[in-house]
Homo-oligomer: A and B are copies of this chain.
Amino acid sequence: MEKEAMRIRFDFSNVMSDNLGDLFGLRETVLKNYREQVTVIHHDFLRRAERGEFAFMNLPRQKEVLDEILDYTEKIAGRFESYVHLGIGGSALGPIALHAALRHPYYNELSPEQRGQAPKMYFLDNIDPDTIAAILAVVDVKKTLFSVVTKSGGTAETISEYLFFLNKLREKLGENYRENLLFITDPLRGFLHKLALEENIRTFTIDPAVGGRFSVLTPVGLFPAALSGIDVNQLLDGAAYMTKICQYEELLKNPAYLFGLINYLYYLEGRRTIVMMPYSDRLFRIADWFRQLWAESLGKQNNRANRIINAGPLPVKALGVTDQHSQVQLYMDGPNDKLFAFLEVEKFARTVSLQSPYPKAPEANYLNNKTMNELIAAEKLATEIAFTENQRPNLTFKVPEVNPFTVGQFFQIFAVAAAFTGELFDINVFNQPGVEAGKVAAYALMGRAGYEEKAAEIARKLAAKKAHVV
């Protein structure tokens, strides 16, 4: 069956005691001990899903959103040379992951013909003034679509970018600036939503029940993907396919539950770092997307009973084979306090053949008549073997190919896994109270109305601070 052949497989052999050994390996009985708790969580999920929580699990079926997007991308086809995506965090990491995984590695350097007349794509997810200013050297504002993406509608970074480019658009286009603007935001509330109504700006909406880091399959990710020619139908199909698999009640059949449980068990033993290491340039930014999902969903001060637990595994991204020459020394010889999750591509899109004209050189000859595909596969397997022999627990997600159908699967495996792992920690997965203090301080420092007291408090503290500088 076609879909089955494109299914991502989760290989957890190298965390099990029969391969990793008894000291750090997990026994199957330990996993099975959790079956009852898994069942309880599972049925709780089903109930809460009926009440409208876990809305991210329904996204793959919202094809009407897709139709609206595809209508619009068709309507504007050929009109823009460039697309600039203004967003940060959950408004950027999903679209960037999609673009990196499914478009050409040097996409913006291709000719319009090579890009199928789709615009060049820029994702601005920082407020570095040098970068913001620099983009004006490579885009013609008049021929650029600026997409302002913020669920709340008021994110400081995104609004500041919007203000900057709005002025540029008005300078160049006068009152026609609206034609080059798109908002992606909440359908009911927020500054951007209000503005869209007042100024009549084209808007796609984000399902209010879907949190930022779970929003890649809303217009946040779907619109830029569709605009650049990614098959978003396939993307949603893959996501829908994997969502079903991640709804299996049986722990040993559910990759999301298994991944979550394994992470949790190792965390309890003091293994607080999870290194996600794709052996694929294209999948590297999925590790980045995962990094937000995992850190914000699981990094929590309090559990649901309001006890201070300061929990949360540290998600780290690494790149195979590149980081074999940077991080693997530490991973092998340093503290044995990390769990590894490889992403492995079984079939790359291209085959790169190697010939060596140096039959006498052992450094080159073993590569003769081999492929780079064989080399990257060998290096991944070699690293896996070395880790396992050295009792470093490691997991592998095997991806038949990198395509929209498989990339869609990734998002849902990890999103379900995050929700599930949060239940094991007994925390609220969907909030992020820890960033509030920094936001408030930033508003105070910027002189925002209503934050005067905080500003005075900060000024007092800074004055009292003892400087130690060299």
Contacts and interface: CB of A to CB of B under 8 A. Distances in A.
B468 A327 contact: no
Contact of A330 (B9, B299, B366): B299
A326 B364 contact: no
Given A137-B114, A321-B88, A332 B438 contact: yes
A13 B375 contact: no
A281 interface: yes
Nearest to A300: B333
A332 B437 contact: yes
Contacts of A366: 443, 446-449
A470 B291 contact: no
Contacts of A138: 106, 109-110
A166 interface: yes
Contacts of A13: 465-469
A365 interface: yes
Interface string A331-359: 11111111000000000111111111110
Interface string A7-44: 00111110010110000000010000000000000000
Size band of the interface chain A makes with B? 35 or more
Contact of A280 (B128, B212, B298): B128
A446 B370 contact: yes
24 contacts: A9-B470, A13-B465, A13-B468, A106-B135, A108-B109, A127-B372, A128-B280, A129-B348, A129-B352, A132-B372, A163-B367, A164-B352, A212-B325, A272-B335, A272-B337, A291-B326, A295-B326, A295-B327, A296-B330, A299-B331, A311-B335, A332-B434, A362-B449, A365-B449
Best-surrounded residue of A104, A445, A450 (most CB of chain B within 10 A): A445
Contact of A110 (B137, B282, B311, B441): B137
A435 to B, nearest CB: 5
Interface stretch (A46-54, A154-162, A214-222): A154-162
Contacts of A205: none
A73 interface: no
Best-surrounded residue of A155, A273, A299 (most CB of chain B within 10 A): A299
A258 interface: yes
Interface stretch (A64-72, A385-393, A414-422): A385-393
Contacts of A390: 437
Contacts of A230: none
Interface stretch (A55-63, A232-240, A249-257, A404-412): A249-257
A386 B441 contact: yes
A265 interface: no
B350 A333 contact: no
A370 B280 CA distance: 42
Given A333-B300, A375-B127, A378-B445, A166 B93 contact: no
Contacts of A439: 382
A78 B253 CA distance: 60
Given A126-B321, A437-B332, A465 B19 contact: yes
